[in-house]
Amino acid sequence: MADEYTKYLDPKVLQKITRLELRARLIVEGFISGRHKSPFHGFSVEFAQHREYVPGDDIRHIDWKLWSRSDRYYIKQYEEETNLRCYILLDISESMRYGSPDHMNKFDYASSVAGSLAFMLLQQQDAVSLSLFDTDIRRYVPPSGHPAHIKTMLNEVVSTSQERKTEMESIFHNLAEKIPRRGVVVVISDLFAPVESIVKGIQHLRHKNHDVIIFQVLDEYELTFPFQSNTMFDGLEGYPEVVVEPRALREAYLREFEDFNTDLRRRCIGSNADFVQLTNTDHLDAALSEFLASREARAK
Amino acid sequence: MPFSAFNSALLWGAGLVSVPIVIHLLNRQRYRVIDWAAMEWLLRALKQNRRRILLEQLLLLALRCLIILLIVLAVSKIYFAGAAGLIGDLAGARTDWVVVLDDSFTMGQTVGAESCFERAKEEVSSLLDQIIESQGSHSFALLTPQAGGRGLPQTARVDRDFARRMENTLAELEPSDLAHSSGTLLERGIRAFEDSEADNRKLVVISDCRVRGWRLEDAAMQSRLQAIDEDIEVHILDVGPTAMDQTANLSVKIDLREASSVFVPDMTAELVAIVHNHGDEVARNVELDCYIQAPDRPEPTVRPTHVFPEIPPGDSVEHVFFPQFEREGVYAVTFKLGRHPQDTLAADNVHHVAIDVQKGLRLLLIHGEIAEDRRRASTHHLRLAVETGRTEMGIVPIVEPARLVRPQAIESADVIVLADVDDLDDEQMAALRRFLRRGGGLAIFPGEQVEPDRFNALFGEQDDAPAIAPAQIEPPVGTLEGRGTTEARFVRLDLTEFTHPLIEGFEEVKVLFQDVRFYKHVPVILPMDHEDHGVQIVASYDDVDQSPAVLERRLYETRTVQRGDEQVETEVETGRVIMVTTTADDVWTNWPTRMSYPIFMPILVNYLYTERASRRNVHAGSPLRHRLDTMRYKPSPIEVILPETAQEQGIGAQRTLEAVTDPETGTGYIALGEDFTRSAGIYRVTLQTVEDADDAPDGEVTEFFAANVDHDRSDLRRHEPDELRRNLAAAGVNYAGSVTDIWRIADVSRAGLWRYVLILLGCTLALESFLGWKFGHHKR
């Protein structure tokens, strides 16, 4: 149990992510100047630590003295750089339990996303918070930038179970009121809830100037509905069971589901939130890398 | 197929058809369970599409049931038998078979172990077996060409019971004494389809395909073939002898033209029997018997058997019998050949003749002169000519001037000659027309006193009656000047053509006419298409125009006759008229003073009378109509004893008739319809005499009529099969040597239905696949 969280930190995944930096699209209060655009220019900062130079780092922050002693490039990091606070909201409702055969279920996949992001943020001295929610926030891990914080967060993840419905609007409203400083809110969920309630919650977060990133995690089967033979679909989150001939319904179901997703994406983006749809068959490293690259490009 | 078996098959079939329904119901119970998150959208899709899905499922279910049904139909032979019939009936896809069995007497030819007719019956049985084996929906009718044939027709659905009944019917069938032509056979079969509404109609004509009966080049036959409905599939099944040279046959007949036509009591008559060897080998020691049945004797007199030492192949030999008839009345004479190894057909080995023996032939000579002096009349030479041979010919001439001749005398005459006559009153003309209608023979000599206009008006076409004279006449041509000198101008008869029966006997002795001169004659105007009007030129003069010297008009009348169950109109020959375009005396010609005149004139009289006499003798199946002297005999009852062959053929032994009265002339007739005379043989008729009638015995009188097979059909040559096949194929008719050949070609309903089933199956499968794909059921 102790090391179970490491499954979310697949080195193959994290190797790429650590080379990238999460860049907030908006100016986040308390960001370390140089790395992130800060509204507090000229503000004295306290040195925190060195870290090894990687290509892409601003050469103005290289510690030349240390270079002269060790003949190696180190970057000086300051306390202000850890001021980015990222609040990860991970959906633990019953619908996240679904996973098609031979694939991770949606919750496992979403947890991997959360773990990867948290690890990356902690690597760059940012503070990360984790909230596990369904109809309410079931677990809450306060923000911290300590590297060991990852372990705390992921242990919370593995110890939870998915049993209840989803209720997003109230969660988002509560969170918007609770978070004292502007930060990055990352929602990882299948978003199986009324679009209107999701959007209202997002708009509230945006109203508080939070940078909102939505990761919608879906199962491949939910997008393709490939069933052939007669099937009883036992509804999660309290929906009734129904026996249908899947082939006869496939087209109609896909149309309905596509309409929902399109509407959701359109309105999330319309609310100035980033919207990323991930499927549990997508390679996580590629998907996150692509998202982070596009986000970095937009920031420049 | 028995009903129970069919029922069982139907149950099995129904069980199989329900398989898709059962599978569907079972499938609804068999499903796998999946926890599903995106349930909201699935339920929404289900709600909006529930009715559509239900309809699609029902449609696909119905199609799958149909596919199973079609597969069952296509592969299950047992089930198919019943179902095909059922479906065939429902869809009207039935096959109507009409088999016309030629029962002409030539079908009785026996080659080897069996006759052509026996083989034909076997082919009918074989065809029935094939039809039953095919297990489709069929009806079957077996016909003989003449309606009312025994045990026929039968039309019914074909099954084993029907086949057994048909076997019994076939066993009783024998060849008739009739001779059918190919046209009759086809027409009979085609007529049977008049009420048929079947999709498939098949006519099978089973015949021996003799050259004499199948005149394919005949225009009437060609038009009949062309007129066959394209929807009727016609097969000619040839059951003639397989060896083409198998024509060995001996036949006997008497041609009345070759014999005395007027038979007088106590006078030696001549009866010439002609025996023909139709085979290709010499026939030796052929025996011929002759039987003469007197009207008042119970048994016939048997003449000594005559033996022909040898008859060359393809040749005829004659033997003359010289019987003497004791008294007036009708005698029956039968010629019969003995059994002979080279004879394969028995039906034509006998010939029956009914002979009228009477006091003499009443020849009425009517002249147009006012003078009553017979010696000056233009008929004088005629009377002399026929009286010369009176004792032999039995001709009794009666001379009357036109203005005095009574209508009764005209009607009661046997033959009439009009010489120089252009004026008859209405009653005389009416009597003359009645005389011709009942078959009288008339000779006309226009003569020098005849006015062409009056003549043409009198004997030309009337508003309500056909012309009597063969042609209209014009003013005479030629001149009598110089007659008796070397400067005389005249014409002779054209002696190059002797084809007409009246003069064909003179071909060998045409020298008799070389000194006959015609100084004057009347030209004639022939009617348009004169041959269509029954007019033909018997002899011509040798002038440049080849002017007609002797003409003949045969008179016809449309009469309604009974043919089977229906009355049909047919054209029958009545009287005939011979016109000689010169005088009967020696005014315009020297003919009466020449030797040929007394020879020709009795032959002319006989020619005109012989045809009437022959009306007691007909071909089997031809109507027989003979005048009844109602002054002597009662019109009813007339007892008719049919020949023995009629009893064997199931037609009957005896019938009672009434005389038929012509409504226009009042003349009574003994009329035997063509159904009546189907059997060859002697028909014995008993008439009741009128009390106190002149010149008639008291009580009953027996007369005879005779019917014979058509001896022209004794020639048994067959069509060469390949040639026949080619000719028939050109008309779209299939020639077959056996039922197998027919079955190979016949598009029977089973094959048709199978094809339809398979096509429907393919279409249904394609439709099911398409709809399955369309409804998303087959999407991957």
Q: Kindly report whether the peptide bond that precedes residue B637 is cis, defined as omega within 30 degrees of 0.
A: yes
Residues A188 and A206 in one domain: yes
B442 neighbors B416 (Cβ within 8 angstroms):
yes
DSSP B718: B
Residues A204 and A170 in one domain: yes
Residue B490 banded pLDDT, cuts 50, 70, 90: very high
Q: Which residues are B207's β-sheet partners?
A: B238
| SS3 state at B276 | strand
Contact B35 A236 (CB under 8 A): yes
pLDDT in tens, A83-127: 678 899 999 999 999 988 877 889 888 888 888 888 778 777 788
Residues whose CB is less than 8 angstroms from the CB of residue B97 and which lie 6 or more positions away in sequence, other chains included: B127, B131, B138, B139, B140, B141, B158, B202, B204
Report d(CA B602, CA B740) in Å as an integer.
Answer: 61
Contact A222 B779 (CB under 8 A): no
Q: Does B717 touch chain A (CB under 8 A)?
A: no
Residues A164 and A247 in one domain: yes
Q: B105-141: string of b/e by CB count within 10 Å (b at 16+)?
A: bbbbbebeeebbbbbbbebbeebbeebbebbbbbbbb
pLDDT confidence of residue B211: 87
Boundaries of domain holding A47: 29-82
Residues A75 and A153 in one domain: no
Residue B749 banded pLDDT, cuts 50, 70, 90: very low
Is residue B20 within a helix (H) or strand (E), and if so which, with residue range?
A: helix B19-29
| SS3 state at B506 | helix
Report d(CA B613, CA B735) in Å as an integer.
Answer: 43
Question: Residues B580-595: what's their mean pLDDT?
Answer: 91
Question: Residues B647-673: what's their mean pLDDT?
Answer: 80
Residue A23 has pLDDT above 50, yes or no: no
Q: Does A98 touch chain B (CB under 8 A)?
A: yes
Relative to beta strand A241-244, strand A231-235 is: antiparallel
Contact B57 A245 (CB under 8 A): yes
Q: How many domains does chain A have?
A: 2
Residues A210 and A155 in one domain: yes
Highest mean pLDDT among B236-250, B260-274, B735-749: B236-250
**Dihedral angle over CA of A8, A13, A14, A16, nearest 10:** -170
The closest of A92, A97, A93, A144 to A118, measured between CA atoms, is: A144
CATH number assigned to the domain with residue range B620-715, chosen from the 4 options 3.30.110, 3.30.70, 2.60.40, 2.30.30: 2.60.40
- Closest approach of chain B CAs to the CA of A114, in angstroms? 21
Contact A256 B32 (CB under 8 A): no
- The two three-digit tokens of residue B599, written as one number: 């020879």
Residue B556 has pLDDT above 90, yes or no: no
Residues A139 and A150 in one domain: yes
Residues whose CB is less than 8 angstroms from the CB of residue B230 and which lie 6 or more positions away in sequence, other chains included: B732
Residues A78 and A91 in one domain: no
Helix axes A168-178, A195-207, angle to 10 degrees: 10
- Of the three residues A82, A97, A115, the one that is the final residue of a domain is A82
CATH number at residue A268: 3.40.50.410
Lowest-pLDDT range, A21-30, A53-62, A257-266? A21-30
Question: Residues A246-268: what's their mean pLDDT?
Answer: 92
**CA-based R_g, chain A, Å:** 21
- Return the sign of the alpha-carbon dihedral for residues B192, B193, B197, B200: positive
| A165 neighbourhood in chain B, CB within 8 Å | none
Residues A65 and A144 in one domain: no
| SS3 state at B644 | helix
Class of the CATH-defined domain B94-246+724-747: alpha beta
What is the topology classification, in CATH, of domain B247-324+335-344? Answer: Immunoglobulin-like (2.60.40)
- In chain A, the residue whose alpha carbon lies closest to the alpha carbon of B42 is A253
Residues A252 and A163 in one domain: yes
A13 neighbors A284 (Cβ within 8 angstroms):
yes
Nearest to A252 among B27, B32, B48 (CB): B48
Contact B46 A229 (CB under 8 A): no
- In chain B, the residue whose alpha carbon lies closest to the alpha carbon of A101 is B34
pLDDT confidence of residue B14: 67
- Closest approach of chain B CAs to the CA of A232, in angstroms? 5
Q: Does A85 touch chain B (CB under 8 A)?
A: no
Residue B277 banded pLDDT, cuts 50, 70, 90: very high
Per-domain residue ranges of chain B: 3-75+762-774, 94-246+724-747, 247-324+335-344, 361-616, 620-715
Q: Which residues are B576's β-sheet partners?
A: B441, B554
Helices (H), chain A: 11-17, 64-70, 106-123, 149-158, 168-178, 195-207, 220-224, 246-270, 284-299
B148: region left, alpha or beta (phi > 0 left; psi from -120 to 50 alpha): left
| SS3 state at B395 | strand
| B775 neighbourhood in chain A, CB within 8 Å | 247-248
B775 neighbors B63 (Cβ within 8 angstroms):
no
pLDDT confidence of residue B492: 93
Q: Which residues are B778's β-sheet partners?
A: none
- Return the sign of the alpha-carbon dihedral for residues A24, A281, B778, A253: negative
Chain A from 259 to 278: CB within 8 A of any B CB: 260
Chain B from 462 to 521: CB within 8 A of any A CB: none
pLDDT in tens, B48-92: 888 888 888 888 888 888 888 888 776 654 444 455 555 555 555
Contact A95 B41 (CB under 8 A): no
Residue A24 banded pLDDT, cuts 50, 70, 90: very low
Interface A–B counts its CB contacts (< 8 A) at 104
Q: B198-218: string of b/e by CB count within 10 Å (b at 16+)?
A: bbbbbbbbbbbbbbbbbebee
Nearest to B34 among A192, A233, A237 (CB): A233
State the burial class of residue B75 (Cβ atoms within 10 Å of its Cβ: 0-12, 13-18, 19+). exposed
* Topology alike, domains B94-246+724-747 and B361-616: yes
- How open is the CA angle B650-B653-B655, to the nearest 5 degrees? 115
Report d(CA A138, CA B329) in Å as an integer.
Answer: 141
Residue A25 has pLDDT above 70, yes or no: no
Chain B from 21 to 60: CB within 8 A of any A CB: 27-28, 30-46, 48-49, 53, 56-57
Residue A178 has pLDDT above 90, yes or no: no
Report d(CA A188, CA A157) in Å as an integer.
Answer: 13
Residue B239 has pLDDT above 70, yes or no: yes
Number of H helices, E strands in chain B: 18, 35
Q: Does B3 touch chain A (CB under 8 A)?
A: no
Report d(CA B385, CA B593) in Å as an integer.
Answer: 10
| SS3 state at B135 | coil
B414 neighbors B629 (Cβ within 8 angstroms):
no
Residues A61 and A144 in one domain: no
Residue A189 has pLDDT above 60, yes or no: yes
- Of the three residues A82, A106, A125, the one that is the final residue of a domain is A82
Report d(CA B615, CA B605) in Å as an integer.
Answer: 16
What are residue A15's phi and psi, to 5 degrees? -55, -40
pLDDT confidence of residue B3: 41
- The two three-digit tokens of residue B195, written as one number: 């009420």
Residue A130 banded pLDDT, cuts 50, 70, 90: very high
* B351-to-A141, B269, B294, B688, B708 alpha-carbon distances in Å: 135, 18, 17, 28, 6
| A190 neighbourhood in chain B, CB within 8 Å | 37
Residue B11 banded pLDDT, cuts 50, 70, 90: low
The closest of A76, A88, A85, A74 to A31, measured between CA atoms, is: A85
Q: Does B243 touch chain A (CB under 8 A)?
A: no
ipTM higher than 0.95? no
Residues A241 and A130 in one domain: yes
Nearest to A248 among B36, B40, B775 (CB): B775
Report d(CA B664, CA B641) in Å as an integer.
Answer: 30
Contact B57 A248 (CB under 8 A): yes
Question: Residues B340-365: what's their mean pLDDT?
Answer: 88
Residues whose CB is less than 8 angstroms from the CB of residue B395 and which lie 6 or more positions away in sequence, other chains included: B262, B360, B361, B363, B386, B387, B389, B602, B605
A239 neighbors B37 (Cβ within 8 angstroms):
no
Class of the CATH-defined domain B361-616: alpha beta
Chain-wide mean pLDDT for chain A? 77
- Of the three residues A65, A82, A99, the one that is the final residue of a domain is A82
Q: Which residues are B395's β-sheet partners?
A: B361
Residues A195 and A67 in one domain: no
Report d(CA B161, CA B108) in Å as an integer.
Answer: 29
Residues whose CB is less than 8 angstroms from the CB of residue B763 and which lie 6 or more positions away in sequence, other chains included: none
Nearest to A247 among B30, B42, B779 (CB): B779
Q: How far apart are the first and last CA of chain B?
A: 47
Contact A256 B44 (CB under 8 A): yes
Report d(CA B546, CA B664) in Å as an integer.
Answer: 40
Report d(CA A45, CA A42) in Å as an integer.
Answer: 9
